[in-house]
Amino acid sequence: MNSSAVEHLLYTEAVGGSIPSSPISFTTKEMKPIESPEQLLQRFTKRTVELRGKLSKLQHAYDEYVKTEGDLKRLEGSIQVVNYIAHGQLPKDGNHDGMKDHNPNK
């Protein structure tokens, strides 16, 4: 008995299996040409120079973003402190969940 006959016998629906599918054929695609190490180095070096130039143009904007974000966090913290002192309200920052607001002494 050849292997396909054994497969058919073992995998028929009568014994709870399914009929085997036909064999899968793979087609080969044409491979892309490979760049030489020199070509890769030239291409990567060119792209590195481009990205460094872009970074230098963006650095000022990034520094300004980081500074502004810090200023905003400090102001939000100040608002939380004033709300706590004036109204006994705890911050809603995840660290005080389940805690009741306080009654400030007046």
44 has a pLDDT exceeding 70: yes
pLDDT of residue 2: 56
Are residues 104 and 90 in contact, defined by beta-carbon separation less than 8 angstroms? no
Rounded CA separation 26/13 (Å): 28
Average pLDDT over residues 57-83: 94
In a domain, 80, yes or no: yes
Buried b (16+ CB within 10 A) or exposed e, 3-40: eeeeeeeeeeeeeeeeeeeeeeeeeeeeeeeeeeeeee
Residue 3 lies in a domain: no
Give the total number of structural domains in the chain: 1
Tens of pLDDT, residue by residue over 50-69, are: 999 999 999 999 999 999 99
Question: Domain range spanning residue 97?
Answer: 57-106
